[in-house]
Each structure stands twice: as C-alpha cells, then as structure tokens.
Amino acid sequence: MSHAHSHHGHGAGGPLTVSAQATLHCLTGCIIGEVAGLMIGVGLGLAAWQTIALATVLSYLSGFTLGVLPVMRSRRADFLDALRIIWIGEAVSIGVMEIVMNWVDYEMGGMAAPSILTWMFWRGLVFAIPAGFLAAWPVNYWLIRRDLKACH
C-alpha cells in the first residue's frame, strides 16, 4: 500500500497544490529550527559553519517533529511507525531547504551580523525562506508523485 497517495487525496486541489501545501508544512518546521539555530549562532558569535550546523540540526529536529506528530494522530501510528512513513520525504525535503536557506542566508550576510537585532540578520531570512520554499517545492512534487513523501 502506498503511504503518500493513499492518504492525501489529489482531488483536494491536484498535485501542484498538494505539493505546495506539503512544502509549506515542511518549511514551517524548517523555519522553527533555522531561526532558532541562527539566533543562537549569531547571538553566541559562532563561526558560520557552526551556525549552519546548529541551524541544520535544529531544522531536522523541528521538521521531523512537525512531520511525525500529525501522522501519529491521523493514522493512529506509534512514533516509530510514523517515522518510517515520513522519514525519506522529510529528510530529502528538509535537506534541500537547508542547503538553499543556509547558502542564501550566508551570502546575504545574515550569519555575519553583529546581533540578531539588526536588519543584516533578518535580511538573510527574508530572502532565505522563500528561496527554501522555491527549491523544495519541485522536489516535494517529485517525491509525492513517486509515493516517497507522506502528506499530513
């Protein structure tokens, strides 16, 4: 039985809409970890690579949490079963988002900001967040079409 197609129903807007909604959901999880990691990294004056590592780890943690919990509820699955259902789609989607978001933020100078209270810090996120969405949307479309991403 296919996990992705059996539960999200393409009739609710078609594959482009479904993949956009899945990407927005994934982006929400990524943003929580990304912003927390960047705020901690910049606040502590960590090197860019340390800030990227921290933001990426926290993005995976928050992204997987937001992916697992709805599957546990909607499918009455325990944690490990829900993780088995979502892991590949979330890992790939979050990975693409993180690569693009961290690259854009780094290039915009957000990680080099002297403080999180400066425009320099937030400017990076203003550009990184939509870039992460645009990079991951076609990836999520592809994953959903091939039953590799569960919609939740």
Task: Name residues whose C-beta falls within 8 Å of residue 29's C-beta, 6 or more positions apart in sequence.
Answer: 59, 62, 63, 64, 65, 66, 67, 94
pLDDT at 11: 47
Predicted TM-score (pTM) of the model is: 0.86
pLDDT in tens, 12-32: 578 899 999 999 998 999 999
pLDDT in tens, 31-42: 999 999 999 999
Mean pLDDT, residues 130-145 taken together: 95
pLDDT at 151: 67
